[in-house]
Chain A
Amino acid sequence: MVEQTLRKRQVVGSRPTTGFMIKFVNVSKFYPPDTFALKDINLYVKGGEFVSIVGQSGAGKTTFIKLLIAEEKPTSGKIIIGDWDISNIKPKEIPYLRRQIGVVFQDFKLLKEKNVYENVAFGLEVIGAKGRVIKEVVPQVLKIVGLEKKMFKFPQELSAGEAQRVSIARALVHKPKILAADEPTGNVDLINAREIIDLFKKINELGTTVILVTHNREIVNYLKTRVIILEQGQIISDQRKGKYLL
Chain B
Amino acid sequence: MTTFFRAIYWGLKSFFRHFGLSFITILIITFSLFSLTTLLFLNIISDILLKNLEGKIDINIYLKDNLTENEIKDFKNSLANEPGVKEIIYISPEEALERFKEKHKKDEVILKSLEILDKNPLGGLIVLRARSLQDYSFLLNRVSDPKYEKFIEEKDFQEYEKIVLTIKNISSKIRYSTLLIVGIFTLISIVAIFNSIRLAIYKRDEEIKIMRLIGATASFARTPFIVESVFYGLFAWLINLLIFFIIFKFGFQRILNFLEIEENLFFSYQKEIIYSFVGVLIFSIFLTILSSWLAVRKYIKI
Contact = CB atoms under 8 A, between A and B. Distances in A.
Q: SS class of chain B's interface: helix, strand, loop or mixed?
A: helix
Interface string B183-215: 000000000000000000000001101111111
A107 to B, nearest CB: 11
A111 B215 contact: no
A69 B213 CA distance: 8
Interface stretch (A14-22, A123-131, A197-205, A211-219): A123-131
B44 interface: no
B297 interface: no
Contacts of A129: 2
Contact of B2 (A91, A98, A130): A130
A103 interface: yes
Given A94-B302, A128-B3, A130-B2, A109 B217 contact: no
A92 B217 contact: yes
Nearest to A91: B302
Given A91-B218, A94-B302, A95-B215, A111 B210 contact: yes
B213 A98 contact: yes
B211 to A, nearest CB: 5
Given A91-B302, A125-B6, A128-B2, A103 B213 contact: yes
A92 B216 contact: no
Nearest to B216: A126
Nearest to A100: B215
Interface in A53-112: 69, 91-92, 94-96, 98-99, 102-103, 109, 111
Interface of B: 2-3, 6, 206-207, 209-218, 220-221, 302
28 contacts: A91-B218, A91-B302, A94-B302, A95-B217, A95-B218, A95-B302, A98-B213, A98-B215, A102-B214, A103-B214, A109-B206, A109-B210, A109-B213, A111-B207, A111-B210, A122-B210, A123-B214, A125-B6, A126-B211, A126-B214, A126-B215, A126-B220, A127-B215, A127-B216, A128-B6, A129-B2, A130-B2, A174-B214
Interface of A: 69, 91-92, 94-96, 98-99, 102-103, 109, 111, 122-123, 125-131, 170-171, 174
